[in-house]
């Protein structure tokens, strides 16, 4: 039973995290090959009033233990190394500084028939510093998300038509989400929500013409 466990370098594990994650994995292996959990944000600076409260929080926090999910990330996960041996799957190295290679990997894991299950009790804390509590940082992050969305879509799509359809669908999804937030949230969030949505769309366009955003380049110089 060889397994690999990932945690991000800017995260803090509570004292029972590792035991909780490993115990749950042992109990459900081999029926379940991947176990993942939530990451809760800890803010080291005052939260700006113009940012929506969930700008740094993950919707997946609402998931329940035992729920089968379609995604996982290397910020909190344990997975069976047999997956790599049996399927030949590897982390994509063609865009190492752009991010989301973990998202692509685990989506491919699901496509190969392996199961990812949520464990609510195996949670971590992520430290959010002042430099990430700004609209500029969020715009850059969502532009990068747009770029990586296209990259992942290229890897997972069966043909060009499917890839283009996915990108068009994402445009409509983003605009619908922005419009909904404008109608249902406080007016002071309007500029932020529009900026984030437009940034993601710009990222998609950038990727479709061959551009990329190396968000993690400064961390590896």
56-94: pLDDT as tens digits: 865 556 789 999 999 999 999 999 999 999 999 999 988
Answer yes or no: pTM beyond 0.85.
yes
Residue 147: per-residue pLDDT? 92
Alpha helical stretches, state H, the chain: 17-28, 82-87, 101-111, 135-156, 160-184, 190-208
3-state secondary structure (DSSP) of residue 160: helix
**Which residues, in sequence order, are CB contacts of 66 under 8 Å at separation 6+?**
117, 118
| End-to-end Cα, the chain, rounded Å | 37
| Domain ranges, ordered by start, for the chain | 3-128, 134-220
Helices then strands, each counted (H, E), the chain: 6, 8
Note the residue count of the chain: 221
pLDDT over 80 (residue 38): yes
CATH topology of domain 3-128: Spore Coat Polysaccharide Biosynthesis Protein SpsA; Chain A (3.90.550)
Is residue 92 within 8 Å of 101, Cβ to Cβ?
yes
pLDDT over 50 (residue 220): no
3-state secondary structure (DSSP) of residue 127: strand
Q: What is the mean pLDDT of the chain?
A: 89
């Amino acid at each position: 039973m060889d397994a690999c466990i990932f945690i991000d370098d800017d995260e803090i594990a509570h004292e029972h995290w590792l035991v909780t994650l490993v115990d749950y994995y042992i109990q459900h292996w081999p029926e379940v090959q991947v176990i993942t959990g939530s990451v809760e944000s800890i803010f080291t600076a005052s939260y700006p009033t113009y940012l929506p409260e969930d700008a740094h929080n993950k919707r997946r926090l609402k998931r329940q233990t035992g729920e089968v999910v379609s995604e996982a990330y290397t910020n909190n996960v344990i997975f069976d190394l047999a997956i790599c041996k049996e399927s030949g799957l590897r982390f994509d190295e063609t865009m190492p500084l752009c991010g989301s290679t973990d998202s692509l990997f685990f989506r491919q894991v699901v496509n190969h028939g392996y199961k990812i299950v949520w464990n609510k009790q195996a949670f971590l804390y992520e430290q959010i510093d002042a430099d990430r509590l700004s609209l500029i940082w969020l715009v850059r992050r969502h532009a990068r998300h747009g770029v990586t969305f296209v990259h992942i879509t290229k890897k997972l799509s069966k043909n060009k038509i499917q890839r283009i359809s996915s990108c068009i669908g994402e445009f409509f999804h983003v605009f619908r989400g922005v419009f909904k937030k404008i109608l249902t949230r406080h007016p002071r969030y309007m500029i932020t929500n529009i900026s984030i949505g437009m940034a993601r769309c710009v990222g998609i366009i950038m990727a479709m013409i061959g551009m990329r955003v190396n968000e993690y380049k400064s961390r590896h110089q």
